[in-house]
């Protein structure tokens, strides 16, 4: 009789195990679209027999385990940080590319029209309308340089705004990870669900700041950024501080009192910092050099001539103080702008002489810019560098996107939910439950028969 009751217990355990299997399968299917969810599997073990004449004591539920590949997750976080870095650089470069404008309708058009105005003046050097045209084109050229320089400066300001927003999100996520660490360390029944939530937060931290994650024996994780700077240590989170500094107002990032701005070599923040501190200044420097060269070369030729009054020519453009900032400050000499008679078109001072106007128009083809280039070649080189940088950044971004997609597919194979697989599991547990129920019924009927015999 005791053997029948043991069989009844075995059947009951089997019913509970397969019912739990149905629950686990239903949980997986319910969360197929849940971001960060890791597929759950039921862990079962055989209960060994109590003696040599026993078939066994049925099945035992060891627990429900979430399938995760931490090595794969670490690789994915690393690639997500690099991908977000390149995406942020592409954003900065795309803004610069849009600011440059189409070929033949941007600053190059203004330079062409500026030198064309001197050519028109050479045709009739005493013409006041032609002189007014030179002054107007000089003003428009100065304005074009200033506008493009201002758009580059706006790109830096936009980067600072994006950096501040990203830093605020990193600080919020750091606190979230620390709070989840504390709950996971308690090892409650919700620990696996909390690990899924933490995984989503860690992935976002990697995208934003290129975070590195280290597992702890107690179930918590430590998070570092930059050159190993602690962002989260178990249940403690440390905030990044972003404060404007210098004349530009660029944000300086500190963590624990240590400046980490230059250490951000991954993640969206790293890409934004690189765009702000490296990419934009490089193109701004080329633009400033072009503006400086044009202003100084035009001034050099202009001061060598004579105006309509027979007086020695003055500077056509305001003298730039230095190369740095030359594009943003480029402007007409106020005196020339106010009186076009001061345009020095004559080479000798004689009325009707157009030698200096021709020399000024000839600057168009003169290799007097930095490196021996003409003005058009210098502008073409500027545009080339912008386009080359954009193409390189987009290529790197595409490459990382492909790698990330491949890693996501591998992660889905290891941790994702497949409806086909779950449907198969559902049928398997259902059939097992039905068989266990029939076995349970048979044992109950057998016990009833034995009891009837005793009566």
DSSP 134-185: HHHHHHHHHHHHHHHHHHHHHHHHHHHHHHHHHHHHHHHHHHHHHHHHHHHH
Q: Per the domain annotation, does 411 fall within a domain?
A: no
Q: How far is CA 205 from the centre of its chain?
A: 12
Sort strands 250-255 and 221-225 into parallel, antiparallel or unpaired.
unpaired
Question: Looking at the domain assignment, is residue 410 inside a domain?
Answer: no
Burial of 274 (0-12, 13-18, 19+ CB in 10 A): buried
Q: Are residues 396 and 424 in the same domain?
A: no
The confidence score (pLDDT) of residue 122 equals: 94
The C-alpha atoms of residue 271 and residue 277 are separated, in whole angstroms, by 10
Is residue 250 domain-shared with residue 362, that is, in the same domain?
A: yes
Q: Which residues contact 395 (CB under 8 A, 6 or more apart)?
A: none
* Integer Rg of the chain from CA: 37
Total count of domains within the chain: 2
Same domain, 398 and 442: no
Q: What is the pLDDT of residue 1?
A: 46
Do 351 and 373 fall within a single domain? Answer: yes
- Residue 450, in any domain of the structure: yes
Task: With beta carbons less than 8 A apart as the criterion, state whether 223 and 212 touch.
Answer: yes
CA 173/CA 205 separation, integer angstroms: 7
Residue 215's φ and ψ, nearest 5 degrees, are -75, 145
- Assigned domain for 350 exists: yes
Could you tell me if 98 and 167 lie in one domain?
yes
Q: Do 128 and 107 share a domain, yes or no?
A: yes
> With left for phi above 0 and alpha for psi between -120 and 50, is residue 210 left, alpha or beta?
left
Distances (CA, A) of 34 to 27, 39, 65, 71, 202: 11, 11, 17, 22, 16
Expressed in angstroms, the distance from the first to the final Cα of the chain is 15
For residues 228 and 362, membership in a common domain is answered with yes
Whole-angstrom distance, CA of residue 48 vs CA of residue 285: 78
Domain of 230 in residue numbering reads as 74-405
Residues 169 and 203 in one domain: yes
In a domain, 424, yes or no: yes
Residue 306: Cβ-neighbour burial (10 angstroms; 0-12, 13-18, 19+)? buried
User: Which residues, other chains included, contact 304 with Cβ-Cβ below 8 Å and sequence gap of 6+?
Assistant: 313, 344, 347, 356, 359
Q: Kindly state whether residues 267 and 346 are assigned to the same domain.
A: yes
pTM of the model: 0.87
Low-confidence ranges of the chain (pLDDT < 70): 1-3, 52-55, 454-455
pLDDT digits (tens, 9 = 90+) for 22-57: 999 999 999 999 999 999 999 999 888 877 666 677
DSSP state of 47: P
Nearest partner of 89 among 3, 25, 162, 184, judged by Cα: 162
Is 145 in contact with 330 (CB distance < 8 Å)? yes
Q: Give the separation between CA 30 and CA 148, rounded to whole angstroms.
A: 54
Residues 6+ apart with CB under 8 A from 176: 201
DSSP 3-14: HHHHHHHHHHHH
Together in a domain, 450 and 330: no
Rounded to 5°, angle at Cα 290 from 289 and 295: 100
- Give the whole-angstrom CA distance, residue 311 versus residue 313: 6
With residue 429 as reference, give the H or E element that holds it: helix 419-454
Kindly state whether residue 357 falls inside one of the protein's structural domains: yes
- For residue 47, the model assigns a pLDDT of 86
Q: Which residues contact 323 (CB under 8 A, 6 or more apart)?
A: 285, 288, 289, 292
Residues 48 and 192 in one domain: no
- My answer on whether 429 and 396 are in the same domain is no
Per-residue model confidence (pLDDT) at position 53: 64
Give how far Cα 350 sits from Cα of 75, 131, 298, Å. 77, 17, 21
Question: Per-residue pLDDT tens for 344-366?
Answer: 999 998 988 999 999 999 999 99
Quote the pLDDT of residue 83: 93
Closest by CA to 341, choosing from 57, 125, 193, is 125
In a domain, 88, yes or no: yes
Query: What's 219's DSSP letter?
Result: S
- Around Cβ 439, how many Cβ atoms within 10 Å? 17
């Amino acid at each position: 009789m005791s053997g029948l009751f043991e069989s009844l217990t075995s059947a009951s355990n089997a019913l509970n195990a397969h019912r739990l299997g149905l629950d686990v399968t239903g949980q997986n299917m319910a969360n197929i679209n849940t971001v960060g969810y890791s597929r759950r599997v039921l862990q079962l073990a055989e209960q060994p027999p109590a003696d040599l004449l026993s078939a066994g004591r049925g099945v035992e539920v060891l627990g429900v385990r979430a399938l995760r590949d931490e090595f794969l997750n670490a690789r994915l976080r690393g690639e997500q940080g690099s991908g977000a870095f390149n995406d942020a650089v592409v954003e900065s470069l795309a803004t610069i590319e849009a600011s440059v404008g189409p070929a033949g309708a941007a600053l190059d058009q203004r330079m062409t029209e500026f030198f064309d105005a001197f050519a028109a003046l050479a045709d009739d050097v005493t013409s006041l309308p032609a002189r007014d045209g030179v002054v107007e084109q000089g003003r428009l050229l100065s304005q074009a340089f200033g506008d493009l320089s201002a758009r580059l400066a706006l790109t830096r300001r936009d980067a600072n705004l994006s950096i501040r927003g990203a830093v605020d999100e990193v600080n919020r996520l750091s606190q979230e990870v620390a709070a989840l660490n504390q709950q996971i360390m308690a090892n409650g029944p919700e620990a696996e669900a909390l690990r899924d939530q933490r995984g989503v937060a860690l992935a976002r931290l990697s995208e934003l700041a290129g975070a590195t994650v280290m597992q702890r024996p107690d179930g918590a994780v430590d998070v570092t950024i930059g050159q190993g700077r602690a962002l989260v240590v178990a249940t403690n989170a440390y905030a990044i501080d972003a404060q404007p500094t210098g004349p530009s107002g660029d944000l300086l990032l500190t963590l624990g009192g240590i400046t980490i701005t230059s250490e951000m070599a991954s993640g969206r923040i790293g890409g934004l910092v690189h765009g702000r501190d490296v990419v934009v200044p490089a193109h701004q420097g080329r633009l400033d050099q072009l503006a400086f060269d044009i202003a100084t070369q035009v001034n050099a030729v202009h001061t060598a001539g004579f105006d309509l009054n027979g007086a020695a020519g003055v500077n056509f453009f305001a003298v730039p103080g230095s190369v740095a900032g030359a594009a943003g400050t480029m402007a007409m000499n106020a005196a020339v702008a106010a009186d076009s008679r001061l345009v020095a078109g004559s080479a000798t001072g004689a009325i009707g002489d157009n030698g200096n106007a021709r020399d000024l128009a000839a600057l168009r083809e003169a290799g007097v810019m930095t490196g021996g280039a003409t003005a058009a070649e210098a502008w073409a080189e500027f545009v080339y560098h912008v386009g080359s940088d954009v193409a390189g950044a987009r290529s790197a971004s595409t490459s990382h996107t492909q790698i990330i997609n491949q890693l996501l597919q591998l992660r889905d194979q290891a941790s994702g939910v497949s409806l086909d697989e779950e449907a198969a599991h559902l049928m398997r547990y259902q059939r097992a439950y039905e068989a266990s129920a029939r076995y349970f019924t048979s044992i109950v009927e057998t016990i009833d028969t034995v009891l009837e015999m005793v009566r």
